C-alpha cells in the first residue's frame, strides 16, 4: 500500500430523509499529513467525518471508505476507534458533572482486577494534559471549565486512545488565537508521531498555516483536493462559495448617539473557589454603536455579560446597570430581556438551544409573551411568520421550519441562536462569539445584519476572540485581562499588537 492509498473516500453518498447531503464525494488522504476539509456551513464536512468515525455506520451511506487498503464496515464509533480513527466533535461531547479525568477515560477506563483504577486514570490524565501543555486539574468537573478548556479535555480524550487518524471538527472555533497556537503545536507533534490529522475549520488563514493538503466541499460535492501550496485564501473562498467574494468586513460609518446602557462597577465572584471573575468593570454603550470586547480565554468577558444578564445562579454579582439612565435590577434573564437586553451566548449547545426542539420553537423561545394571541394561546401562525422572516434574513439553510435543531449544521444552529435573540427586539444586543463556527459567507451575512441593526438604533456589544473581526467591525474596543478592563481603543487606533498588549497586561 502506498501512502496515497492510506485513506480513500470513494463516491460517498449520504442523505437524510430523502435529502442528499453528500453527493459522490471522492478524495484521498495521505498517511501522516494534515489534511484540511473546508466548505460553507452545511456543505457536508461533519457528515463525512461522522461516516469515517463510525457515527453513521456502514449501510447508512453508499460508496466506500478504504482505510489502509481495507473497506471499512464500521458498526459504531467504538469499532472505528479500534481501527485507529478518533473524532473530536464540533459540539463537545463531554459530561458536565464528571471530572476532567473521568471524561478523558469515559468508556475506556483502566482497570485493575476488574475495578476502575482511579490512580492510573488520574496519572495518565496528568501526562496527557502535560503533553497538551495544559495546567487544567484532572479532578475538577468539566462544567467548571471554559469552553476553550473543555476543548482541550476533548482533545486529551481523543489522544488517550491509540489513534492513527484523528479528526478535528472545528477545534479552534472556540479558542482565542493564543490557544489556537497551542493546538497547532499539538497537531504538529501528532504529525511528527506519524498520526494523520483531518482538520476542519472556517478560519482559512489557520487552514493555510497548518495543512499539507486541502479538500474543498461545496453543496455535498468534492470540488478539489490539492497540496497547500496551490492555494491562497482568495482561491479557497472562491471554491467554497462558487464565486468571488470581496471585502471581508463590511464596515459602515456609524453615528453613535445617546447612551443606552451604562454599567458601573460590575463584579462577579465565585464563592465556590473564592475567586473574583470580574472585577469592578464600568463602561457605557451608545445607541447605534458596536462596542467590541477583546481579551484572552478566561479574561472574564463571558462572565461579565452572563452576570449582567442574570444568567448565573452560583455566582455573586454586584454593581449597577442603567438602561436609558434608569437603574434596573436584573435577577434572571427574563428581567434583562424585559428591559431590552438581548444575549446571544457563546456555547450554543449548553445554553443557547434546545436541540430536540424544532427551529420555530427555538427561535421563539425567548419571546413567548409576544407570540401569545388575544386568547392567551401561542399564535403559531405568528411564530411561523416571524421565524420565516428571520430565517430568510439570516440565509438559514434548512429543509423545513419543523426540522429539529440538532439536525442543522453547526453554523446554521448558530444562526438560530441569533434569530432567537433578534426576535426579542432588544435595545442592546450582546453577541458572545457570534461567528464561532460560521463560514465566510454566513459571517458576512451576520455583519450585514449587525449594520442593519445599528441603522435601526440598536446598540451592539460584540465579544470576539477573533481580533481581525473586532478590529473589522467594532467602533470602539474594550480589552479585558484577568477580570479587569485594561484598555480602550477606537477602531482607528486598534491593531492586533495593541490589543494583545492590553489583553496580556495585568495592571
Ligand atoms: N441528522 C440529520 N438529519 C437531517 N439533516 C441533517 C442531519 N445532519 C446533517 N444534516 C444536514 O446535512 C447538511 C450537511 O450538514 P453538516 O453538518 O455535514 O455540514 P457542515 O459542512 O459540517 O457545516 P458546518 O460548517 O455548519 O458545521 C446540512 O444541510 C444539515 O442540515
Ligand atoms: Mg460541521
DSSP assignment of 441-499, as one string? HHHHHHHHHHHHHHHTT-EEEEE-S-HHHHHHH-SEEEEEETTEEEEEEETTT--HHHH
Averaged over 146-161, what is the pLDDT? 83
What integer pLDDT is reported at residue 506 of this predicted model?
Answer: 47
State residue 403 phi and psi, 5-degree precision. -65, 135
pLDDT at 177 over 70: no
User: What is the pairing mode between strands 196-200 and 221-227?
Assistant: unpaired
- For every residue of 102-141, DSSP letters joined together read HHHTTT---EETTEE-HHHHHHHHHHHHHHTT----TTSB
pLDDT tens digits, 11-21? 999 998 778 89
Q: What integer is the mean pLDDT of 271-294?
A: 95
> What's the whole-number mean pLDDT along residues 67-85?
94
What local confidence, expressed as pLDDT, does residue 397 receive?
85
Confidence of residue 221 (pLDDT cuts 50, 70, 90): very high
Q: What percentage of the chain reaches a pLDDT higher than 70? A: 93
Atom of ligand 1 nearest to the CA of 411: 26
pLDDT band at residue 376, thresholds of 50, 70 and 90? low
Q: For residue 2, is pLDDT > 80?
A: no
Residue nearest to atom 5 of ligand 1 (CA): 407
pLDDT (average), residues 291-316: 92
Distance 38 CA to ligand 2 centre (A): 10
The predicted model gives 370-375 an average pLDDT of: 64
The stretch 78-103 carries a mean pLDDT of: 87
What residue's CA is closest to ligand 1, atom 24?
41
Enumerate residues 6+ apart whose C-beta is below 8 A from 29.
6, 7, 8, 9, 35, 165, 196, 198, 213
Between the CA of residue 194 and those of 6, 31, 434, what are the distances in Å?
12, 7, 36
* Residue 34: per-residue pLDDT: 97
3-state secondary structure of 250: coil
User: Backbone phi, then psi, for 50, in 5-degree steps?
Assistant: -70, -30
109: confidence class by pLDDT, cuts 50, 70, 90: confident
Residue 507 has pLDDT above 50, yes or no: no
**Least confident window among 60-69, 78-87, 149-158, 481-490:** 149-158
* Residue 364 or 39, more confident: 39
CATH architecture of 3-241: 3-Layer(aba) Sandwich (3.40)
The pLDDT, as a whole number, for residue 490 is 95
Q: Where are the alpha helices (DSSP H) in 246-364?
A: 301-308, 333-338, 359-364
Question: Which mutation among 13, 42, 222, 439 tests ligand 1's pocket best, with the greatest number of atoms within 8 A of CB?
Answer: 42
pLDDT digits (tens, 9 = 90+) for 33-52: 999 999 988 899 999 999 99
Asked if 3-241 and 254-340+459-507 have one fold, the answer is yes
Q: pLDDT confidence of 154, banded at 50, 70, 90?
A: confident
Using CA positions, which residue lies closest to atom 1 of ligand 1? 407
Domain ranges for the chain, please list them.
3-241, 254-340+459-507
Residue 441 has pLDDT above 50, yes or no: yes
Any residues with Cβ below 6 Å from ligand 1, and which? 16, 21, 39, 41-47, 90, 397, 407-412, 439
- Nearest bound ligand to the CA of residue 89: 2
* Nearest Cα residue to atom 29 of ligand 1: 42
- The answer, yes or no, to whether residue 244 has pLDDT greater than 70, is no
pLDDT of residue 161: 82
Mean pLDDT of 248-273: 92
The average pLDDT across 331-359 equals: 84
pLDDT averaged over every residue in the chain: 88
CA distances to 74, 296, 350, 473 from 27, in Å: 19, 37, 35, 37
Distance 15 CA to ligand 1 centre (A): 10
pLDDT at 354 over 90: no
Region 206-235 average pLDDT? 94
Indicate the top mutation candidate among 218, 408, 414, 441 to test ligand 1's pocket, ranked by most ligand atoms within 8 A of CB: 408
Q: Quick one: how far is CA 242 from the chain centroid?
A: 24
CATH of domain 254-340+459-507: 3.40.50.300
Ligand 2: distance of its center to the CA of 490 in Å? 35
Report residue 100's pLDDT band, with 50, 70 and 90 as the boundaries: very high
Q: What is the mean pLDDT of residues 435-457?
A: 85
The segment with the largest mean pLDDT, out of 95-109, 244-258, 273-287, is 273-287
Among the ranges given (27-41, 44-58, 111-125, 408-422), the one the predictor scored with the smallest mean pLDDT: 408-422
Amino acid at each position: 500500500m502506498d501512502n496515497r492509498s492510506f485513506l480513500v473516500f470513494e463516491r460517498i453518498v449520504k442523505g437524510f430523509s430523502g435529502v442528499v447531503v453528500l453527493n459522490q464525494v471522492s478524495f484521498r488522504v495521505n498517511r501522516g499529513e494534515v489534511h484540511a476539509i473546508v466548505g460553507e456551513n452545511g456543505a457536508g464536512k461533519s457528515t463525512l467525518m461522522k461516516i469515517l468515525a463510525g457515527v453513521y455506520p456502514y449501510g447508512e451511506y453508499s460508496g466506500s471508505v478504504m482505510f489502509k487498503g481495507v473497506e471499512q464496515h464500521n458498526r459504531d464509533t467504538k469499532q472505528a476507534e479500534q481501527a485507529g480513527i478518533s473524532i473530536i466533535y464540533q459540539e463537545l461531547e463531554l459530561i458536565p458533572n464528571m471530572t476532567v479525568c473521568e471524561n478523558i477515560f469515559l468508556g475506556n477506563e483502566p482497570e485493575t482486577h476488574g475495578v476502575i483504577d482511579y490512580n492510573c486514570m488520574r496519572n495518565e490524565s496528568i501526562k496527557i494534559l502535560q503533553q497538551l501543555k495544559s495546567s487544567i486539574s484532572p479532578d475538577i468537573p468539566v462544567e467548571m471549565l471554559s469552553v476553550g478548556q473543555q476543548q482541550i479535555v476533548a482533545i486529551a480524550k481523543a489522544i488517550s486512545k491509540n489513534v492513527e487518524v484523528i479528526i478535528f471538527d472545528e477545534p479552534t472555533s472556540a479558542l482565542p488565537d493564543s490557544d489556537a497556537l497551542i493546538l497547532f503545536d499539538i497537531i504538529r507533534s501528532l504529525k511528527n508521531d506519524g498520526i494523520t490529522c483531518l482538520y476542519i475549520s472556517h478560519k482559512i488563514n489557520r487552514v493555510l498555516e497548518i495543512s499539507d493538503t486541502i479538500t474543498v466541499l461545496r453543496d455535498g460535492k468534492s470540488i478539489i483536493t490539492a497540496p497547500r501550496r496551490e492555494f491562497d485564501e482568495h482561491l479557497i473562498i472562491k471554491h467554497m462559495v462558487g464565486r468571488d467574494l470581496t471585502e471581508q468586513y463590511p464596515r459602515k460609518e456609524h453615528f453613535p448617539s445617546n447612551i443606552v446602557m451604562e454599567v458601573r462597577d460590575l463584579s462577579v465572584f465565585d464563592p465556590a473557589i473564592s475567586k473574583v471573575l470580574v472585577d469592578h468593570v464600568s463602561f457605557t454603550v451608545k445607541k447605534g454603536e458596536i462596542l467590541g470586547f477583546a481579551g484572552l480565554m478566561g479574561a472574564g468577558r463571558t462572565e461579565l455579560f452572563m452576570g449582567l444578564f442574570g444568567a448565573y445562579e452560583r455566582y455573586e454579582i454586584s454593581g449597577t446597570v442603567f438602561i436609558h439612565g434608569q437603574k434596573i435590577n436584573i435577577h434572571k434573564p427574563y428581567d434583562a430581556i424585559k428591559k431590552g437586553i438581548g444575549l446571544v451566548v457563546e456555547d450554543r449547545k449548553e445554553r443557547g438551544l434546545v436541540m430536540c426542539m424544532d427551529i420555530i420553537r427555538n427561535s421563539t423561545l425567548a419571546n413567548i409573551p409576544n407570540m401569545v394571541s388575544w386568547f392567551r394561546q401561542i399564535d403559531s401562525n405568528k411564530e411561523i411568520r416571524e421565524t420565516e422572516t428571520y430565517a430568510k434574513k439570516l440565509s438559514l439553510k434548512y429543509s423545513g421550519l419543523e426540522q429539529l435543531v440538532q439536525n442543522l449544521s453547526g453554523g446554521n444552529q448558530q444562526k438560530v441562536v441569533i434569530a432567537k435573540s433578534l426576535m426579542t427586539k432588544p435595545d442592546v444586543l450582546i453577541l458572545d462569539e457570534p461567528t464561532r463556527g460560521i463560514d465566510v459567507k454566513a459571517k458576512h451575512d451576520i455583519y450585514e445584519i449587525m449594520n442593519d441593526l445599528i441603522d435601526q438604533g440598536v446598540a451592539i456589544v460584540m465579544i470576539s476572540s477573533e481580533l481581525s473581526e473586532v478590529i473589522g467591525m467594532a467602533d470602539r474596543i474594550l480589552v479585558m485581562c484577568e477580570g479587569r478592563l485594561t484598555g480602550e481603543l477606537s477602531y482607528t487606533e486598534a491593531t492586533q499588537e495593541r490589543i494583545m498588549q492590553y489583553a496580556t497586561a495585568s495592571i
